[in-house]
Structure 1
């Protein structure tokens, strides 16, 4: 009741398919593998039973400040998001939830563990480091969750995860959630899960992308992409928008260009410190800014349900990156638009993505920032201009060093 009341205040009263299937099994303490695409409700699929069992299950020892649940996620951004989601659902419960990730001092995290944490959320490397230091005690963990397991594999975290799993020598429940199931993840599941129930909340031939996400793809000249993006950002009905770039340098350049054109924009990329990244993400979630320029390192961590547009400023390197990027929109039943600007030097990459995902767009049209087809396809008003106001400052951007005057 405490959890459902908390969710109701958040406007969550109905389950998604993955939640409907997993909740009864997870609440009974069984190991399970949950498979569903990004944005289909996996967090509360494991979060609700986790909180309920830690708080009130007979086979879980009463909380005493030693971790009872451990949730492992691939990125800092996702750790923050999952921690926030669990905290909102547990607002009526006497549970302490804390998030651990790299890029921040150890002292605060070690102090939190000394005071007492009931539910730990964190990234593999930092959790393993804290365990090796003796700060993170795992012998009372009753519930283990591996979230976005395929992404952790892609990022090279599998050895760290195996070390953590090996440290859990006592009986416990394990839930593994992932959008895809590569062979290495299935091997991991066979090795460390006890007769897991495999739940797939979609048919085997389901599309890899959300059905309520409209995909618009066209060829764009490299020198015209920024002007095109400025026009797209003036589309009718546009809300929160994520622009993906392939490199940190391009992300910073695009954010700066849009700020100079008068847009309210933030940035998230690897050259930024964690506090700056969190400021940008929090401002985006709260609506203080409505445009976020990000590199792929943040693709899994931006878990915001009301993103209306995703713009691939640069074509992704592979099909799964494309799926993860555009999975930021069309979430939780909302409609979304995913726009991919294919540069002439990126045509081969797009051919591979289109073929593997069977998107049916092998030969995208060529559009420019002045093309009527662009305006029609994305509901851009004729009054759209190259800039919308005076220059603004990029939230999370790196301050420029003033040039020294010439002598």
Structure 2
């Protein structure tokens, strides 16, 4: 049976969990002293070198649940080979944005240790990543395609890896990365010491569990809540209504003037819609950035950095970015287009109401999206089968979101979308794929995967 945590008590500090003092000091400098439930359960097991499958909802602390024991063991576990500049731990993630987030979190936690963390993903020059590997690295975080590229070139040495982590395994399955994961797994040494494997995810589809159990050594399956716990945060207020496609821009402008609104993420299904929404909001005077597949990597990173630092307080994103935005104080998530399936809905709105904060999730259901909402509502038991029809002038909209009567179509002079000046790839002509760098597929849209 999966192990679960009791939420009705004070969670232990990292010191009480036996974490190395150097890591505790680095976390304390960021105001992090007590663990989350998934961390309380996972860290002691992982520090013992055991295999585990960790399950927790988005925003509940999975990164440090595996990251802290990885750093601790690589830094100070006599069972691992002495450090020699080749990796001792490999953390595989589905998207570039998540690779950056995980890499930065681990670097901050390791600041008082001599450990080196390298982040490997597509969209960046090979040379800088190869130089980092040649300089010596202890922990590698990366996306499957670029990791395999560098392994095939002989630049990524896996012979010393003792710990493998698969983060957001369900997303890797959705994106078609399962064959790549199997190949990476087979490339890792199994002797003389057994490989420790940790698999973390918000959901656990059958193929992922089958793969894990066929390769892992008696893994302990842990959950941060009971199996019948709700799939969304109790701290997230969910507002759902039907909105006409032509009125959505006006509705959105009013929602963004709601009382108490802080950092806000707006999700769209398509790249074109993301670009259009961001440009419309910028014209209305909102400080907005955008993250979608038609933007170059530099532009995407600039937008994410601006959102994290508060330079912009609105980020328009496709689902490719949903797993890579690590900001705890997002007050609002807005589904401008209804998600395609229930788990996408869960992952999107999991960006708010995190780490004890309250949040608001707003879903605009188009008249042609009613069937999608019906599936989400039924699957998640949200008890909102018939969303009301609201317009940008509806009093119910203003009341539900605490929008002042003074809300206008614009909030100031027109701006530019942050990061847009760094350029985009633009749409490719029909029938022309264009060159790809190596085999990187960390953001490829395959098999219906959503961007």
Does structure 1 residue 179 correspond to structure 2 residue 199?
no
> Structure 2 CA distance, aligned partners of 1:113 and 1:47?
20
Q: 1:66 Cα deviation (Å)?
A: 0.4
Q: Is residue 346 of structure 2 the alignment partner of residue 330 of structure 1?
A: no
Count the aligned residue pairs: 401
Tell me if structure 2 keeps the 8 A contact 1:97–1:117. yes
Q: Is the 8 A contact 2:263 2:329 kept in 1?
A: yes
Instruction: Give the match for residue 119 of structure 1.
Output: 139
Paired residues of 1:261 and 1:388 also in contact (CA < 8 A): yes
C-alpha distance in structure 2 between counterparts of 1:190 and 1:219, whole Å? 43
Tell me what 2:125 maps to.
Answer: 105
Runs (5+) with no aligned partner, structure 1: 402-407
1:143 to 163, 187, 197: 163
In the other structure, the counterpart of 2:28 is: 8
1:268–1:396: 8 Å Cα contact kept in structure 2? no
Residues 85-104 of structure 1 correspond to what in structure 2 (within 5 A)? 85-104=105-124
Which residue of structure 2 lines up, in the alignment, with residue 84 of structure 1?
A: 104
Whether contact under 8 Å (2:94, 2:171) holds in the other structure is: yes
Q: CA deviation at 1:169?
A: 3.0
- Partner Cα distance (2:78, 2:357) in 1: 39
CA distance in 2, matches of 1:399, 1:130: 27
CA contact (8 A) 1:70 1:144 kept: yes
Q: Secondary structure at the match of 1:345?
A: coil
Q: CA deviation at 1:192?
A: 1.4
CA root-mean-square deviation: 1.2
Deviation at 1:303, TM superposition (A): 1.7
Aligned counterpart, 2:265 = 242
Aligned to 2:399: 376
The alpha-carbon deviation at position 258 of structure 1 amounts to: 0.3
1:152 equivalent to 2:181? Answer: no
User: What residue is the counterpart of 1:405 in the other structure?
Assistant: none
Asked if the contact 1:259–1:393 (Cα under 8 Å) also holds between the matched residues in 2, the reply is: yes
Write the distance in 1 (CA, Å) between the matches of 2:77 and 2:398.
56
Q: Distance in 1 between matches of 2:177 and 2:378?
A: 29
**Deviation of residue 396 (structure 1)?**
2.6
Cα-to-partner distance string for 1:102-138 (whole Å, 9 max, x where unaligned): 1122111111111111110000111111111111111
Contact 1:272–1:396 (Cα < 8 Å) also in 2: no
Deviation at 1:167, TM superposition (A): 0.8
Q: CA deviation at 1:299?
A: 1.0
How far apart are residue 183 of structure 1 and its match? Answer: 0.8
The reply to whether residue 301 of structure 1 matches residue 324 of structure 2 is yes
Classify 1:249/1:398 alpha carbon distance in 2 versus 1 (closer, same or farther; 3 Å). farther
How much does 1:397 deviate? 2.5
The SS at the match of 1:11 is coil
Deviations 1:295-322 (A, max 9, x none): 1111111121111000000001111111
Q: Cα deviation per residue 1:188-221 (whole Å; 9 max; x = unaligned)? A: 1112111111111111111111111110000001
Residue 26 in 1 paired to residue 49 in 2?
no
Structure 1 counterpart of 2:378, from 334, 351, 355: 355
Distance 2:404 2:108 in 1: 39
Instruction: Check whether the contact 2:158–2:189 (CA below 8 A) recurs between aligned residues.
Output: no
Q: Would the aligned equivalents of 1:226 and 1:254 in 2 still touch at CA under 8 Å? A: yes
CA distance in 2, matches of 1:175, 1:230: 43
Map of 2:85 onto structure 1: 65
SS at match of 2:240: strand
1: CA distance, partners of 2:347 / 2:125: 30
1:167 to 156, 181, 187: 187
Give the secondary structure class of the aligned counterpart of 1:309.
Answer: strand
**Which one of the candidate residues 226, 231, 243 is aligned to 1:220?**
243
Asked if residue 193 in structure 1 is aligned to residue 216 in structure 2, the reply is yes
Q: Secondary structure at the match of 1:354?
A: helix
SS in structure 2 of the partner of residue 174 of structure 1: strand
Please give the alpha-carbon distance, in whole angstroms, between the structure 2 residues aligned to 1:143 and 1:52.
12
**Residue 383 (structure 1) shift:** 1.1
TM-score between the two structures when normalised by the length of structure 2: 0.88
Q: Which residue of 2 aligns with 1:386?
A: 409
Match of 1:320 among 329, 333, 343: 343
Cα offset for 1:398? 6.0
TM (normalized to structure 1)?
Answer: 0.97
Say if 1:267 and 1:277, in contact at 8 Å, map to a contact too: yes
**Matched residue, 2:311:** 288
Q: Can you give the 5+ residue segments of structure 2 that lack an aligned partner in the other structure?
A: 1-20, 425-451
* 1:186–1:399 Cα change, 3 Å: closer
Cα distance, 1:63 vs. partner?
1.5
- Classify the secondary structure of the residue corresponding to 1:145: strand
Secondary structure in 1 matching 2:407:
coil
